[in-house]
């Protein structure tokens, strides 16, 4: 029977320079990190770059990881922060490089149905709606509804009170309902 080392064991080995241990941590958690980042950024070319950035940050901060939280919690916090950084960079780039030919995709008005609406499947509409949320609301939606963390876990990851997680989640889901409700109801 093969013994599967715990995350803490792998972290200790990686701290001592064992690259195979770090590689195993990366392979073990890469899908979870990618899911979190994709939830924050939507279907974007940036996702792979941000996932890579998350593991670079993780590697650079291994010595500071105290083990107070689970490795997954620590990685998720890094993923959320790296995603927020990417969103800020994206916003700055849009402000800096606006041209007259830029095409923007906007969600159709409720009750309006045309070929543009037909082009998008529900996943794309949800991604567009998620991009309309404020980043701190998006982070809570991703943690609670996409990644399945409890309110307490999301609060720990984000470093905010549980009540704040609940209020942000409530505001975010209400906003998503406002945006998506009429559009998705048309497809039924």
Report the CATH number that the domain containing residue 137 is assigned in CATH. 1.10.10.10
Does 117 lie in the same domain as 93? no
Does 142 lie in the same domain as 66? no
Predicted confidence (pLDDT) at residue 16 exceeds the cutoff of 70 = yes
**Boundary-marking domain end, from 39, 72, 104:** 104
Domains contained in the chain, number: 2
pTM as predicted: 0.70
Does 69 lie in the same domain as 25? yes
Does 126 lie in the same domain as 79? no
Does 68 lie in the same domain as 89? yes
Predicted confidence (pLDDT) at residue 85 exceeds the cutoff of 60 = yes
Does 166 lie in the same domain as 140? yes
Rg of the chain, C-alpha, whole Å: 19
- The answer for residues whose C-beta is within 8 angstroms of residue 151's C-beta and 6 or more apart is 144, 162, 165, 166, 169
Does 22 lie in the same domain as 100? yes
Question: Degrees (nearest 5) of the Cα angle 107, 109, 111?
Answer: 130
Residues 118-144: what's their mean pLDDT?
Answer: 80
Q: Are 73 and 153 in contact (CB under 8 A)?
A: yes
Does 109 lie in the same domain as 91? no
Between CA 146 and CA 129 the distance in angstroms is: 14
Residue scoring higher pLDDT (73 or 42): 73
Q: What is the CATH number of the domain that holds 81?
A: 1.10.1740.10
Does 86 lie in the same domain as 3? yes
What is the pLDDT confidence band of residue 6, given thresholds at 50, 70 and 90?
A: very high
* 3 state DSSP class of 134: coil
Does 148 lie in the same domain as 69? no
**Boundary-marking domain end, from 104, 132, 153:** 104
Between CA 107 and CA 35 the distance in angstroms is: 24
**Boundary-marking domain end, from 51, 73, 104:** 104
Per-residue pLDDT tens over the stretch 95-129:
444 434 444 444 444 444 444 444 445 667 777 78
Task: Give Cα 31 distance to the centre of its chain.
Answer: 12
Between CA 162 and CA 154 the distance in angstroms is: 8
Does 84 lie in the same domain as 143? no
Residue scoring higher pLDDT (41 or 106): 41
Does 177 lie in the same domain as 87? no
Range of the domain at 166: 105-188
């Amino acid at each position: 029977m093969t013994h599967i080392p715990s995350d803490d064991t792998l972290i200790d080995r990686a701290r001592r320079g064992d690259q195979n241990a770090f590689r195993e941590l990366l392979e073990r958690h890469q899908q979870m990190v990618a899911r979190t980042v994709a939830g924050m950024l939507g279907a974007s070319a940036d996702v792979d770059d941000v996932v890579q950035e998350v593991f670079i940050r993780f590697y650079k901060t291994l010595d500071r990881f105290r083990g107070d939280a689970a490795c997954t919690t620590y990685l998720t916090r890094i993923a959320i922060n790296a995603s927020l950084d990417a969103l800020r960079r994206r916003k700055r780039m849009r402000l800096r490089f606006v041209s007259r030919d830029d095409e923007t995709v906007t969600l159709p008005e409720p009750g309006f149905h045309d070929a543009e609406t037909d082009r998008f499947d529900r996943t794309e509409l949800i991604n567009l709606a998620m991009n309309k949320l404020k980043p701190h609301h998006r982070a809570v939606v991703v943690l609670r509804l996409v990644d399945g963390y409890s309110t307490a876990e999301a609060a720990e990851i984000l470093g905010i009170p549980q009540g704040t997680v609940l209020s942000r989640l409530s505001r975010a889901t209400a906003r998503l309902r406002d945006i998506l409700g009429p559009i998705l109801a048309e497809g039924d």
